[in-house]
Structure 1
Amino acid sequence: MSNRIKNKLISSSIRFIEYFSSSIKKKLLLMMMLITCVPVIAITAVAISESRKNLEAEIRTTNQSSIIWSGQFIDEKLKLLDNLMFSVMADLTITRYLEGALDSDMEPSYIVQSYILNKLNSVYLPNLNLFDQISVFSSRENKSYTMINGESRIIAHSSHALPLPWDRLGNLKLAYYMEDQQSPHFHMYRTMFKFIDRSILGGISIHVNWSMLDPILQSVKSEENSLIFIMDREGRAVHGLPGADYDSLALQDIHAALSSGSGEAFFKTKSYYVFQQAVGDGSMFLVKAIPTSAVLESNRRTLWFSVSLGIGLLIFSLAASILLANKATNPILKLARAISFTAESNHDEYIETKRNDEIGLLEQKYSEMIRARYRIYIEKRNAQFKALQAQINPHFLHNTLQSLGAMAVARNVPEVYQIIQTISSNFRYTMTTGDDFVTLMQEIEHVDNYLTIQNFRFKDKIEKHFQIDESAKTALLPILILQPIVENAFEHGFQHTKAPWIIKIDAVREADIVRISIMDNGIGIPPERLAEINESLLSDPGDVITFTNSMALRNINARIGIHFGEPYGLTLQNHPGGRGTLVTITLPYIPSNK
Structure 2
Amino acid sequence: MIGAFRHEEGESHMSPKKWLRALYIYINSRLYYKLIIAVMILVTLPIVIVTTWATYYSTKNMVDEIFTTNTSGVQQASSIITEKFDAIDRVMHSLVMDGHFITQFKELSHEDSYRRHGATLTIESTLYSLHYTNRERIRSITLFADEAPQIISIGDQERSLLTWPSIEPTPHYQFMNHYRDQTFSFMRSINQFETRQSIGSIIIDVEWDIIQENMDMLKTEEESAVFLMGEEGELLHQPYHEQSIDRHLFQDVQEAIKKSEEHRSYLTLDDSYVFFDEINNGNMYIVKVFPKSIVFASSMQIVRIGLFVALIA
Match for residue 168 of structure 1?
A: 167
2:7 aligns with none
Q: Answer yes or no: is 1:260 the counterpart of 2:256.
A: no
| In structure 1, distance between residues paired with 2:250 and 2:303 | 29
What does residue 229 of structure 2 align with?
Answer: 231
Gaps of 5+ in 1: 1-14, 317-594
* Corresponding residue for residue 138 of structure 1: 145
**Contact 1:169 1:202 survives alignment (8 Å):** no
- Separation in 2 of the partners of 1:38 and 1:155? 77
Q: Deviations over 1:273-309 (max 9, x none)?
A: 2111211222211111122212222333223335667
Q: Any idea what SS the aligned residue of 1:188 has?
A: strand
2-structure distance, mates of 1:63, 1:97: 49
8 Å contact from structure 2 (residues 267, 275) kept in 1? yes
Number of matched pairs: 278
Q: Secondary structure, in 3 states, of the residue corresponding to 2:169? A: coil
One-letter code aligned to 2:244 = D
Q: Which amino acid aligns with 2:126?
A: K
TM-score (norm 2): 0.75
Cα distance 1:169–1:226, how it changes in 2: closer, same or farther (>3 A)? Answer: same
User: How far is 1:78 from its partner?
Assistant: 0.9
State the match for 2:154 in structure 1. Answer: 147
2:146 & 2:49 partners in 1: Cα distance? 73
Alpha carbons 2:189, 2:198 under 8 Å: kept: yes
Distance 1:303 1:235, change over 3 A: farther
Distance 2:299 2:128 in 1: 54
- Hey, what does 2:15 align to over in structure 1? none
Note if contact 1:48-1:306 (Cα within 8 Å) is conserved in structure 2.
Answer: no
| Residue type of the alignment partner of 2:264 | E
Cα pair distance change 1:247/1:103, threshold 3 Å: closer
- For the 8 Å contact 2:74–2:218, the answer to whether it is kept is yes
Relative to 1, partners in 2 of residues 1:295 and 1:285: Cα closer, same or farther, differing over 3 Å?
same
The change in CA–CA distance for 1:55 and 1:115 in structure 2 (over 3 A counts) is: same
Give the C-alpha shift of residue 38 in structure 1.
Answer: 10
Q: Distance in 2 between matches of 1:289 and 1:307?
A: 32
Q: CA 1:82/1:41 → structure 2, altered by over 3 Å: closer, same or farther? A: same
Give the Å deviation of 1:134. Answer: 0.9
Residue from 58, 72, 85 that aligns with 1:78: 85
Alignment counterpart, residue 60 of structure 1, candidates 44, 49, 67: 67
The residue matched to 2:187 in structure 1 has which SS? strand
Q: Distance in 1 between matches of 2:169 and 2:303?
A: 57
Secondary structure of the structure 2 residue equivalent to 1:299: helix
TM-superposed deviation, 1:209: 0.3
Match of 2:132 in 1: 125
Equivalent residue for 1:587? none
Give the structure with higher Rg (CA).
1
SS of the equivalent of 1:231 reads strand
Deviation at 1:224, TM superposition (A): 2.1
Q: What aligned pairs does 1:13-32 form with structure 2 within 5 A after superposition? A: none
State the match for 1:198 in structure 2: 196
Q: Is the CA contact 1:129–1:209 (under 8 Å) kept in the aligned structure 2? A: no
Instruction: Give the letter for the 2:168 counterpart.
Output: L
Please show how residues 116-515 of structure 1 align to structure 2 within 5 Å. Answer: 116-149=123-156, 155-157=160-162, 163-164=164-165, 167-180=166-179, 182-242=180-240, 243-260=242-259, 262=261, 263-306=263-306
1:112 shift after superposition: 0.3
Question: Is the Cα contact below 8 Å between 2:51 and 2:303 reproduced in 1?
Answer: no
Question: Gapped runs of 5+ residues in structure 2?
Answer: 1-17
Provide the rounded CA distance (Å) in 2 between the counterparts of 1:123 and 1:79: 15
TM-score (norm 1): 0.42
Q: Whole-Å Cα distance in 1 between the matches of residues 231 and 302 of structure 2?
A: 39
Aligned to 2:10: none
Aligned equivalents of 1:38, 1:95: Cα separation in 2: 82
User: How many angstroms apart in 2 are the aligned matches of 1:239 and 1:101?
Assistant: 37
What SS does the aligned partner of 2:76 have?
Answer: helix
CA–CA separation in structure 1 for the residues paired with 2:212 and 2:149: 35
Residue matched to 1:404:
none
SS in 2 for 1:282: coil
